[in-house]
A and B are shown apart, each in its own frame.
Chain A
Amino acid sequence: AQSVTQPDIHITVSEGASLELRCNYSYGATPYLFWYVQSPGQGLQLLLKYFSGDTLVQGIKGFEAEFKRSQSSFNLRKPSVHWSDAAEYFCAALITGGGNKLTFGTGTQLKVEL
Protein backbone atom coordinates (compact mmCIF):
# COMPACT_ATOMS: atom_id res chain seq x y z
CA ALA A 1 0.00 0.00 0.00
CA GLN A 2 1.13 3.55 -0.68
CA SER A 3 2.32 5.14 2.53
CA VAL A 4 4.51 7.78 4.13
CA THR A 5 6.37 6.96 7.32
CA GLN A 6 7.85 9.33 9.84
CA PRO A 7 9.60 7.08 12.35
CA ASP A 8 10.11 9.71 15.03
CA ILE A 9 7.00 10.89 16.87
CA HIS A 10 8.88 13.30 19.12
CA ILE A 11 12.32 14.87 18.81
CA THR A 12 14.00 17.24 21.25
CA VAL A 13 17.01 19.31 20.25
CA SER A 14 18.88 22.18 21.86
CA GLU A 15 18.72 25.58 20.28
CA GLY A 16 21.61 25.98 17.87
CA ALA A 17 21.98 22.24 17.31
CA SER A 18 21.44 20.60 13.95
CA LEU A 19 18.23 18.82 13.08
CA GLU A 20 17.25 15.93 10.85
CA LEU A 21 13.68 14.66 10.56
CA ARG A 22 13.21 11.39 8.76
CA CYS A 23 10.65 10.53 6.12
CA ASN A 24 10.29 7.34 4.09
CA TYR A 25 7.78 6.62 1.37
CA SER A 26 6.44 3.45 -0.12
CA TYR A 27 5.20 3.89 -3.67
CA GLY A 28 5.63 2.06 -6.94
CA ALA A 29 6.92 5.18 -8.64
CA THR A 30 8.60 8.25 -7.22
CA PRO A 31 5.92 10.57 -5.89
CA TYR A 32 6.06 14.31 -5.50
CA LEU A 33 7.28 14.98 -1.95
CA PHE A 34 6.58 17.80 0.46
CA TRP A 35 7.39 18.95 3.95
CA TYR A 36 4.85 21.05 5.84
CA VAL A 37 5.03 22.59 9.31
CA GLN A 38 2.13 23.19 11.67
CA SER A 39 2.20 25.44 14.71
CA PRO A 40 -0.42 24.91 17.43
CA GLY A 41 -3.88 25.90 16.27
CA GLN A 42 -2.66 26.75 12.79
CA GLY A 43 -2.92 25.30 9.32
CA LEU A 44 -0.05 23.74 7.40
CA GLN A 45 2.73 25.88 5.97
CA LEU A 46 4.77 24.57 3.06
CA LEU A 47 8.49 24.33 3.82
CA LEU A 48 9.73 22.78 0.60
CA LYS A 49 8.88 20.37 -2.20
CA TYR A 50 10.54 17.90 -4.55
CA PHE A 51 9.13 17.15 -7.97
CA SER A 52 12.22 16.13 -9.92
CA GLY A 53 15.76 17.25 -10.72
CA ASP A 54 18.27 18.29 -8.09
CA THR A 55 17.92 15.93 -5.14
CA LEU A 56 18.84 18.58 -2.57
CA VAL A 57 16.07 21.13 -2.27
CA GLN A 58 16.10 24.36 -0.34
CA GLY A 59 13.09 25.69 1.47
CA ILE A 60 12.01 28.52 3.68
CA LYS A 61 13.31 29.27 7.17
CA GLY A 62 16.71 27.71 6.43
CA PHE A 63 15.38 24.18 5.89
CA GLU A 64 16.59 21.78 3.23
CA ALA A 65 15.71 18.23 2.29
CA GLU A 66 17.49 15.53 0.37
CA PHE A 67 15.71 13.02 -1.85
CA LYS A 68 17.36 9.59 -1.92
CA ARG A 69 15.71 7.23 -4.36
CA SER A 70 17.75 4.23 -3.22
CA GLN A 71 16.50 4.65 0.34
CA SER A 72 13.00 5.91 -0.55
CA SER A 73 13.69 8.79 1.80
CA PHE A 74 13.17 12.53 1.89
CA ASN A 75 14.74 13.74 5.12
CA LEU A 76 14.43 17.31 6.33
CA ARG A 77 17.46 19.09 7.77
CA LYS A 78 18.40 22.37 9.36
CA PRO A 79 21.96 23.25 10.40
CA SER A 80 21.01 25.34 13.43
CA VAL A 81 17.62 25.17 15.09
CA HIS A 82 15.91 28.23 16.56
CA TRP A 83 13.43 28.15 19.42
CA SER A 84 10.74 29.33 16.99
CA ASP A 85 11.15 26.09 15.00
CA ALA A 86 9.27 24.18 17.70
CA ALA A 87 6.21 22.80 15.90
CA GLU A 88 4.91 19.65 14.26
CA TYR A 89 6.39 18.64 10.94
CA PHE A 90 4.62 16.57 8.32
CA CYS A 91 6.05 14.79 5.33
CA ALA A 92 3.58 14.24 2.47
CA ALA A 93 3.51 12.52 -0.89
CA LEU A 94 1.44 12.99 -4.00
CA ILE A 95 1.39 10.26 -6.61
CA THR A 96 1.33 11.43 -10.21
CA GLY A 97 -1.89 10.47 -11.91
CA GLY A 98 -3.65 10.51 -8.56
CA GLY A 99 -5.05 14.01 -8.70
CA ASN A 100 -4.39 16.11 -5.65
CA LYS A 101 -4.64 13.49 -2.94
CA LEU A 102 -1.82 14.08 -0.47
CA THR A 103 -0.82 11.20 1.79
CA PHE A 104 0.70 12.40 5.04
CA GLY A 105 3.02 10.83 7.53
CA THR A 106 1.99 10.81 11.17
CA GLY A 107 4.08 13.86 11.95
CA THR A 108 7.10 14.60 14.13
CA GLN A 109 6.69 16.91 17.09
CA LEU A 110 9.81 19.03 17.53
CA LYS A 111 10.69 20.48 20.90
CA VAL A 112 13.54 22.97 21.19
CA GLU A 113 15.36 23.33 24.49
CA LEU A 114 16.81 26.72 25.27
Chain B
Amino acid sequence: KAGVTQTPRYLIKTRGQQVTLSCSPISGHRSVSWYQQTPGQGLQFLFEYFSETQRNKGNFPGRFSGRQFSNSRSEMNVSTLELGDSALYLCASSPSLEETQYFGPGTRLLVL
Protein backbone atom coordinates (compact mmCIF):
# COMPACT_ATOMS: atom_id res chain seq x y z
CA LYS B 1 0.00 0.00 0.00
CA ALA B 2 1.15 3.51 -0.63
CA GLY B 3 1.91 5.53 2.46
CA VAL B 4 0.53 8.85 3.57
CA THR B 5 1.25 11.56 1.03
CA GLN B 6 1.39 15.27 1.68
CA THR B 7 1.52 18.11 -0.79
CA PRO B 8 3.28 20.36 -1.24
CA ARG B 9 6.48 19.26 0.47
CA TYR B 10 7.86 22.77 0.77
CA LEU B 11 6.17 26.13 0.82
CA ILE B 12 7.30 29.73 1.27
CA LYS B 13 4.73 32.37 2.13
CA THR B 14 4.76 35.91 3.49
CA ARG B 15 3.06 37.21 6.59
CA GLY B 16 -0.64 37.82 6.17
CA GLN B 17 -1.10 35.29 3.40
CA GLN B 18 -3.06 32.09 3.76
CA VAL B 19 -2.00 28.55 2.93
CA THR B 20 -3.69 25.22 2.27
CA LEU B 21 -1.92 21.91 2.86
CA SER B 22 -3.17 18.58 1.58
CA CYS B 23 -2.96 15.06 2.96
CA SER B 24 -3.93 11.77 1.33
CA PRO B 25 -4.21 8.94 3.86
CA ILE B 26 -3.31 5.31 3.40
CA SER B 27 -5.98 3.55 1.38
CA GLY B 28 -8.76 2.35 3.66
CA HIS B 29 -7.83 4.66 6.54
CA ARG B 30 -10.69 6.83 7.69
CA SER B 31 -8.98 8.96 10.32
CA VAL B 32 -6.58 11.79 9.63
CA SER B 33 -4.74 13.85 12.24
CA TRP B 34 -2.55 16.90 11.86
CA TYR B 35 0.47 17.92 13.94
CA GLN B 36 2.76 20.93 13.99
CA GLN B 37 6.45 20.44 14.69
CA THR B 38 8.71 23.33 15.67
CA PRO B 39 12.10 23.42 17.40
CA GLY B 40 10.67 25.39 20.30
CA GLN B 41 7.35 23.66 20.93
CA GLY B 42 8.06 20.18 19.59
CA LEU B 43 5.24 18.08 18.19
CA GLN B 44 1.81 19.47 18.92
CA PHE B 45 -1.59 18.11 17.98
CA LEU B 46 -3.67 20.36 15.74
CA PHE B 47 -6.86 18.41 15.01
CA GLU B 48 -8.22 15.09 13.89
CA TYR B 49 -10.93 14.04 11.48
CA PHE B 50 -12.91 10.87 11.20
CA SER B 51 -15.62 10.29 8.63
CA GLU B 52 -15.55 13.97 7.61
CA THR B 53 -16.13 15.15 11.18
CA GLN B 54 -13.64 16.99 13.36
CA ARG B 55 -13.39 14.87 16.49
CA ASN B 56 -10.77 16.71 18.46
CA LYS B 57 -8.92 20.00 18.29
CA GLY B 58 -5.68 21.11 19.85
CA ASN B 59 -4.90 24.42 21.47
CA PHE B 60 -4.38 26.52 18.36
CA PRO B 61 -6.02 29.77 17.29
CA GLY B 62 -8.98 29.83 14.95
CA ARG B 63 -6.66 30.76 12.07
CA PHE B 64 -5.94 27.04 11.86
CA SER B 65 -8.74 25.04 10.32
CA GLY B 66 -9.20 21.84 8.42
CA ARG B 67 -11.62 19.55 6.72
CA GLN B 68 -11.93 16.01 5.51
CA PHE B 69 -13.54 14.86 2.31
CA SER B 70 -15.66 11.80 1.63
CA ASN B 71 -12.61 9.96 0.23
CA SER B 72 -10.82 10.61 3.58
CA ARG B 73 -8.38 13.09 2.05
CA SER B 74 -7.84 16.06 4.30
CA GLU B 75 -6.77 19.65 3.99
CA MET B 76 -5.66 22.13 6.58
CA ASN B 77 -5.74 25.86 6.13
CA VAL B 78 -3.88 28.59 7.95
CA SER B 79 -5.10 32.12 7.40
CA THR B 80 -3.29 35.38 8.12
CA LEU B 81 0.07 33.69 8.43
CA GLU B 82 2.46 34.76 11.17
CA LEU B 83 6.21 34.22 11.38
CA GLY B 84 5.62 31.74 14.18
CA ASP B 85 3.63 29.50 11.87
CA SER B 86 6.86 28.42 10.22
CA ALA B 87 7.00 24.72 10.98
CA LEU B 88 6.87 21.19 9.67
CA TYR B 89 3.23 20.15 9.37
CA LEU B 90 2.72 16.43 9.67
CA CYS B 91 -0.32 14.46 8.70
CA ALA B 92 -1.04 11.00 10.08
CA SER B 93 -3.66 8.46 9.15
CA SER B 94 -5.11 5.46 10.94
CA PRO B 95 -7.80 2.93 10.09
CA SER B 96 -10.08 4.25 12.82
CA LEU B 97 -9.91 6.00 16.17
CA GLU B 98 -7.47 4.91 18.87
CA GLU B 99 -5.37 2.95 16.43
CA THR B 100 -1.79 3.25 15.29
CA GLN B 101 -1.10 6.41 13.31
CA TYR B 102 1.17 6.41 10.27
CA PHE B 103 2.81 9.66 9.33
CA GLY B 104 3.48 11.33 6.03
CA PRO B 105 6.75 13.12 5.15
CA GLY B 106 5.37 16.49 6.14
CA THR B 107 5.04 19.91 4.56
CA ARG B 108 7.69 22.40 5.56
CA LEU B 109 6.23 25.89 5.68
CA LEU B 110 8.41 28.96 5.87
CA VAL B 111 6.73 32.28 6.58
CA LEU B 112 8.77 35.38 5.70
Interface residues of A (CB under 8 A from B): 32, 34, 36, 41-46, 49, 90, 92, 94, 96-107
B90 close to A44 (CB less than 8 A): yes
List, in ascending order, chain A residues with CB within 8 A of B4's CB. Answer: 43
**Interchain CA distance A99-B33 in the complex, whole Å:** 10
B42 close to A43 (CB less than 8 A): no
B48 close to A104 (CB less than 8 A): no
**B64 beta carbon closer than 8 Å to chain A:** no
**Interchain CA distance A104-B97 in the complex, whole Å:** 17
Q: 1/0 contact trace for B84-112 toward A, CB 8 Å?
A: 00000010101001111111111010000
B103 close to A44 (CB less than 8 A): yes
B106 close to A32 (CB less than 8 A): no
User: Binding site of B, secondary structure by majority: helix, strand, loop or mixed?
Assistant: strand
List, in ascending order, chain A residues with CB within 8 A of B102's CB. Answer: 46
Interface residues of B (CB under 8 A from A): 4, 31, 33, 35, 42-45, 48, 50, 55-56, 58, 90, 92, 94, 97-106, 108
Q: Closest CB of chain A to B58's CB: distance in Å?
A: 7
A-B pairs, top 9 by smallest CB distance, nearest first, are A104-B43, A44-B103, A43-B103, A99-B56, A43-B105, A100-B48, A99-B55, A101-B45, A100-B33
**Interchain CA distance A28-B104 in the complex, whole Å:** 30
A101 close to B48 (CB less than 8 A): yes
A36 close to B103 (CB less than 8 A): yes
List, in ascending order, chain B residues with CB within 8 A of A90's CB. Answer: 43
**Interchain CA distance A32-B98 in the complex, whole Å:** 8
**Interchain CA distance A105-B42 in the complex, whole Å:** 8
**Interchain CA distance A107-B106 in the complex, whole Å:** 17
B106 close to A99 (CB less than 8 A): no
B48 close to A49 (CB less than 8 A): no
